[in-house]
Amino acid sequence: MIKNNYTSVIGLEIHIQLSTKSKAYSADENIYGANPNTKISPISLAYPGTLPSVNTKLIEYALKLGISLECDINKKNIFSRKNYFYADLPKGYQITQDKNPICKGGHLLIDLEDGSKKKINLTRIHMEEDAGKSIHDIDPYNSLIDLNRAGVPLLEIVTEPEIRSSFEAQSFVNEIRKIVRYLDICNGNMEEGSLRCDANVSVMKENDKDFGTKVEIKNMNSTRNIKKAIDFEIDRQIELIEQGKFIVQETRNFNALTNATNSMRTKERADDYRYFTEPDLQPLILDEKYIQSIANDLPLLPNELERKFKKEFDLSSYDIKLLIEDKGISDYFQKICKIIKNYKLVANFVNGPIKSFLNTNSVPIDKLPIDRKKIIALLSFVDNKKISISSAQQIIFPKLLNSDLEVIEIIEKNNLFFENDSIDLEEIISKVLEKYTQKVIEYNEGKIGLIGLFMGEIMKITKGKIDPKKINTELKKELEKRKK
Amino acid sequence: MLPRKLIKTKIRAELKNKKSFLQVRDDLQSQKTTVRSITANYIKSIHDNKDLNIFIEVFENEAINRANEIDEKIKSKTQGKLAGMIIAIKDNLCYENHLVTASSKILKGFKSNYSATAIERLLKEDAIIIGRVNCDEFAMGSTNKNSVYGPPLNPLNKKMVTGGSSGGSAAAVAANLCMVSLGSDTGGSVRQPASFCGVFGFKPTYSRVSRYGLISYASSFDQIGVLSNSLFDNALVLEVISGHDHNDNTSSKKRVEPYSNFEKKPNYKIAFLKETLDLKALDSSIKKSTLDLIESLKSSGHQVETCSFPFLEYLVPTYYVLTTAEASSNLARYDGIRYGHRSSEAENLNDTFVKSRTEGFGQEVKRRIMLGTFVLSSEYQEAYYTKAQKIRSLIQKETNKIFENFDFIITPSTPRTAFEIDSETDDPTDLYIEDIFTVHANLSGNPAISVPLGKCKKNLPFGIQIQAKNFDEKKIFNFVNQFLTHNI
């Protein structure tokens, strides 16, 4: 983004906490929200004499992501130690990858504001482990440590500094989150810290060749905050430069209450992590066959699905975007479409009442309390013009949510079937038009919007038992007659 | 020079094989004795020899209880193959519900909540773990003086050091306070004290024995080793503790051969490194005995050739750069947070780290942590750590080259015999030269044994070291057995 002739340069570091059953280098359970210090063992506590063993799921998940993002896969993986002292880092070092990450390069297409796409190149993806948590705000005198998270597997994605605005950064994180959920390797929950993002931000004059001094921003725990933090930081940096001041290379913390970034620590003296090859783990050699087997098992990703949906279902870009936001939803949609061929009807129903229920209750599609077979039954009644879509949405769907009744039972109990034969539609239309003679004249003089009034009246009388399309056709015929 | 015949007799006398576990096993089988009575005798000997400062803790009641259980098993013929074997363990091996301190103040009172894989395998074969023995703090040292418990005394001469770092393990065997002991060998810590105490000390191939439960000093060098009075016992115990372990990612999946099933093979090709005898610090009687042995080997038909190994002077520096680097990281976990010593003086987090470690670690350990931190620092890593890694690969390559043409490399185990406990050196790194012959096998990873060879003028023992290529443990045992039982 160019602001007062400044260009912003942004690179992201995204930590993805993997949803493996056990930790990266021990058999401890990897689960969020357990009682403090219950998911631990001599290994994760770094007891004397313990050694790490690699969880093969860590490799599998890294490959899933790396292949999806079209990275170069490194076949000889060497683990390294990153040494530093901290109370919640039991070994005094983190097992990570230094010079030979499992994935190099790769890229991701993100959506821009104008609907076009932009390719962001990745530097690398590497495997590492999480530290525990230090809790400073419970006990007034002591810090408390919870080591449940110590050793939980992480992938770190590092982008090239090719992101140019807060919108692009937000879009990148949204896209990554969607992909890791599609791959089912991370729940993508930023509030719980399952997906964490740090941003390196600098600004430069439009025609400058060299990047400005970068500042690292941490603690942005939602995509909205990523946007806010970067916007704040860009403005702050431009203002400093305009005032003739220098940017200090530092790490800044984002405060969601003030929407501002504050200095955490300056980087005058770079940390020396004394990286060296982890001698407790042998190099991990990946063979081509294994890599290929992971590649063959990958699900279609959002970008591929978008193309597929356009081709197979002929839906609008807007509908497709909504459907592919979540893998559960897109799978669900496709399953229903195998039976109901009215794709637009299915898309509207999924993006409409179903999604609105899921959003209101913050539950995933597999927690929808209605059997998929019932939804299919319901939509086929609509598709076969036996009931109206409004009955389906407003009467039947809520009843399905709150009872065990079958679709047919609800329709019959509430008398919702179209009764095209037993009702004299012609007579009802005539009655209504007689009631509004003045309006009929106005309609025939060109106020065609009045048709809604007539429709509404007729629908009220027919109680949704006649297909609105049929009413519409008959009504227009009748109005045409009265023109003469 | 002595006439050939005389040399042979003399060496064979020195190399005598003490009573082995085979005898014990027969006696148990024929009910001449019981495990309980054997155990009780060893416990008594340990108490009688308290002044040697070898045992830090004797697992007395537990040993007796286990002995009773094993006696029952013997009656029902369901005992494991180490039933009746009395074993002492170095104080850096974890044993569930037992204290383990690596002879350091920083682990004072620390109880392990799991057992090392090697210990589990011994227990499974019905060995009796009689107690834990003294060592240098975190296995760093070659005198066993770097121990929070003070040095153990050499049973052959109480004024002398036992060697280190597995000094307690070697002394316990030499003083007959156990049949076999486990030690650990990072740069000679099993072979050097074995040489000083006149016992067998075997360091297997790196990756042969699981390191799980061995308190790490330098991960890419550390191996658990076996010390014993008899070659057979050594082979038998090594056979039990060797083999793949899923808890140690670096442990080898290679099959374990029956080491204790000694076989007589035709003559061997043996390399002798000529640079080792040129060393100024080499004791004259060690030099002489080694030359005599070579003559003796030749006369019995083995092919002994002098070989050049130009890397000798680089062994010790390379070893110290790499081991201290790994140690500086391996010992970071002793931070006073989760277990072990925590300073009562600390007022904040950083203080807790600094003060707990300053108070908890001894001088030598601190020296090595500092050195290791330095060689890994970004400014110096290239000049020291990375360079040392390259030299290590060269040493490995060069060593493998020798083993393409030879079955064994023989050298003295140590340049001199045990020295006085009270002797002080101005420069603590002077002692690092003690390791010159032994660090080789840890740098290249190959197996090596120290076999008692002779005694110096002061009547102190010394050993001969035999190295073979990776996973040739069985070949070493076969060869040494040939020494001891046949005409060399």
Token representation of residue A484: 């003469």
Task: Spell out the alpha helix ranges (H) of B76-116.
Answer: none
Q: pTM of this prediction?
A: 0.89
Query: Which of B169, B161, B157 shows the shortest CA–CA distance to B142?
Result: B161
Residues of B in contact with A50 (CB under 8 A): 114, 212-213
CB-nearest partner of A49 from B116, B249, B378 = B116
A276–B211 CB contact, under 8 Å: no
* C-beta atoms surrounding A255 within 10 Å: 14
A276–B335 CB contact, under 8 Å: no
Q: Are A426 and A447 in contact (CB under 8 A)?
A: no
User: Torsion-angle region of residue A141: left (phi > 0), alpha (psi -120 to 50) or beta?
Assistant: alpha
C-alpha dihedral (B85, B86, B91, B96), degrees to nearest 10: 70
C-alpha dihedral (B363, B368, B370, B375), degrees to nearest 10: 170
Residues of A in contact with B326 (CB under 8 A): 276, 279
Instruction: Tell me the pLDDT band of A417, cut-offs 50, 70 and 90.
Output: confident
Give strand ranges (E) for A139-180. Answer: 144-146, 153-159
Mean pLDDT of A361-390: 90
Token representation of residue B461: 């023992």
Residues of B in contact with A54 (CB under 8 A): 249
Query: Which of A365, A380, A374 shows the shortest CA–CA distance to A405?
Result: A374
Q: Catalytic positions of B, please?
A: 90, 165, 189
The pLDDT score that the predictor gives to residue A479 is 85
Query: What DSSP designation does B364 have?
Result: H
In this predicted model, what pLDDT tens digit does every residue of B188-201 receive, in sequence order? Answer: 999 999 999 999 99
Token representation of residue B186: 């990072």
Least confident segment among A18-22, A295-299, A319-323, A411-415: A411-415
Q: Looking at chain B from residue 102 to 131, which residues have their Cβ under 8 Å from any Cβ of chain A?
A: 102, 107, 110, 112-114, 116
A87–B349 CB contact, under 8 Å: yes
User: Torsion-angle region of residue B321: left (phi > 0), alpha (psi -120 to 50) or beta?
Assistant: alpha
A49–B213 CB contact, under 8 Å: yes
Residues of A in contact with B92 (CB under 8 A): 49
| Three-state DSSP class for residue B324 | helix
A47–B112 CB contact, under 8 Å: yes
Gap between the Cα atoms of A370 and A357, Å rounded:
11
What average pLDDT does chain B have? 93
How far from A111 is each of A161, A176, A321, B273, CA to CA, in Å? 17, 12, 11, 69
Query: Which of B268, B294, B417 shows the shortest CA–CA distance to B7?
Result: B294
B212–A279 CB contact, under 8 Å: no
Query: What DSSP designation does B420 have?
Result: B
Least confident segment among A24-38, A174-188, A258-272: A258-272
In this predicted model, what pLDDT tens digit does every residue of A450-459 receive, in sequence order? Answer: 888 888 888 8
Sheet bearing A276-277, strands edge to edge:
A93-96, A80-83, A276-277
CATH top-level class of B4-266+410-486:
alpha beta
Q: Are A73 and A286 in contact (CB under 8 A)?
A: yes
Which position has the token pair 């007579």?
A427
Q: Report the percentage of chain A scoring pLDDT > 70.
A: 98
Measured in angstroms, the CA of A288 and the nearest CA of chain B are apart by: 22
Mean pLDDT of A33-49: 96
The pLDDT score that the predictor gives to residue B18 is 61
Strand B223-228, strand B180-185: pairing: antiparallel
User: If you measure CA to CA, which chain B residue comes closest to A136?
Assistant: B349
Residues of chain A whose beta carbon is less than 8 angstroms from a beta carbon of chain B are 42, 45-54, 81, 83, 85, 87, 90-93, 143, 145, 272, 274, 276, 279-282
CB-nearest partner of B249 from A45, A46, A52 = A52
CB proximity B214 to A under 8 Å: yes
CB-nearest partner of A274 from B249, B353, B376 = B376
The pLDDT score that the predictor gives to residue B425 is 74
Residues of A in contact with B247 (CB under 8 A): 51, 53
* C-beta atoms surrounding A409 within 10 Å: 12
Instruction: Tell me the pLDDT band of A387, cut-offs 50, 70 and 90.
Output: confident
User: If you measure CA to CA, which chain A residue comes closest to B113?
Assistant: A42
| Three-state DSSP class for residue A158 | strand
User: If you measure CA to CA, which chain A residue comes closest to B93?
Assistant: A49
C-alpha dihedral (A404, A406, A409, A415), degrees to nearest 10: 100
Q: Per residue of chain B (488 residues), what is the pLDDT tens digit?
A: 444 454 454 555 445 556 789 999 999 999 999 999 999 999 999 999 999 999 999 999 999 999 999 999 999 999 999 999 999 999 999 999 999 999 999 999 999 999 999 999 999 999 999 999 999 999 999 999 999 999 999 999 999 999 999 999 999 999 999 999 999 999 999 999 999 999 999 999 999 999 999 999 999 999 999 999 999 999 999 999 999 999 999 999 999 999 999 998 778 999 999 888 888 889 999 999 999 999 999 988 999 999 989 898 899 999 999 999 999 999 999 999 999 999 999 999 999 999 999 999 999 999 999 999 999 999 999 999 999 999 999 999 999 999 999 999 999 999 999 999 998 776 777 777 888 999 999 999 999 999 999 999 999 999 999 999 999 999 999 999 987 875 55
User: Torsion-angle region of residue B150: left (phi > 0), alpha (psi -120 to 50) or beta?
Assistant: left
CB-nearest partner of B219 from A83, A274, A280 = A280
Across A139-143, A214-218, B213-217, the highest mean pLDDT is recorded for B213-217
CB-nearest partner of B373 from A47, A91, A274 = A274
A85–B100 CB contact, under 8 Å: no
In this predicted model, what pLDDT tens digit does every residue of A418-458 receive, in sequence order? Answer: 776 667 788 888 888 888 888 888 888 888 888 888 888 88
Measured in angstroms, the CA of B415 and the nearest CA of chain A are apart by: 30
Q: Maximum distance among all alpha carbons in chain A?
A: 99
**Apex A40 CA angle, A35 and A44, nearest 5:** 140
Q: Are B482 and B488 in contact (CB under 8 A)?
A: yes
B339–A51 CB contact, under 8 Å: no
In this predicted model, what pLDDT tens digit does every residue of A461-477 receive, in sequence order? Answer: 887 778 888 888 888 88
User: If you measure CA to CA, which chain B residue comes closest to A41?
Assistant: B113
Long-range contacts of B176-179 (CB under 8 A, 24+ apart): B176/B45, B176/B229, B177/B42, B177/B45, B177/B46, B177/B49, B177/B52, B177/B54, B177/B55, B177/B88, B177/B130, B178/B42, B178/B86, B178/B87, B178/B88, B178/B130, B179/B21, B179/B24, B179/B85, B179/B86, B179/B87, B179/B228, B179/B229, B179/B233
Gap between the Cα atoms of A231 and A234, Å rounded:
5
Q: What are the counts of helices (DSSP H) followed by strands (DSSP E) for chain A?
A: 17, 18
Best of B254, B330, B365, B387 to disrupt the A interface by mutation (most A CBs within 10 Å)? B330
The pLDDT score that the predictor gives to residue A269 is 59
Q: Looking at chain B from residue 375 to 404, which residues have their Cβ under 8 Å from any Cβ of chain A?
A: 376-378, 381, 385
